[in-house]
Structures are given as structure tokens and as C-alpha cells.
Amino acid sequence: MVKMVPYEAFACPCGAGDVLLRESYKPKIRGKLYYACPRSKDLQHLHAILQELQHLKAILRELQEMHNAQTASTSLIR
């Protein structure tokens, strides 16, 4: 029976395709897991990743504001 490394995949924000979790076979970093997109070395890929990060930051800020508002209203009730 062949033992497979469980591959985890999701679509890369750059739209080139799936980002795959791979296992490195280079002697120095053997067994190290890393994410690889078909366009990992492409500038457009980096740009898309940065945009996605900005998007996530905005969501975090929104959640933080919601949390703050909630905390404020609870303290008003007490």
C-alpha cells in the first residue's frame, strides 16, 4: 500500500489555479510542508496575495468594531 501525503488544496487568489500543500524533497528541507501555486514566482501572484491580505485586514477590522460595539452595549446594560 502506498502511503500518500494528504494534500490540502484551495484556489489561489491570483486565479492561476489551486494552491497545493506539498512536501519538499530537497535534502536540506526534506519533509517540510509548503504551499505552492502554479504561478508562485509570478509578480501578479504576489500582487493578488497582497490584495487578499488587505481584504482580510478589512474583515478583521470590521469584526473588531463589532466586538467593541457589543462590549460597549453590554457595559451599558450593567
* Contact mark string toward Zn ion, 33..72, x via CB under 5 A: ----x-x-----x---------------------------
Say whether residue 16 binds Zn ion (CB under 5 A). Answer: yes
Binding of residue 20 to Zn ion (CB under 5 A): no
Q: Which residues contact 44 (CB under 8 A, 6 or more apart)?
A: 14
HSE on the CB side for 12, CA within 13 Å? 22
Q: Which residues bind Zn ion (CB under 5 A)?
A: 12, 14, 16, 37, 39, 45
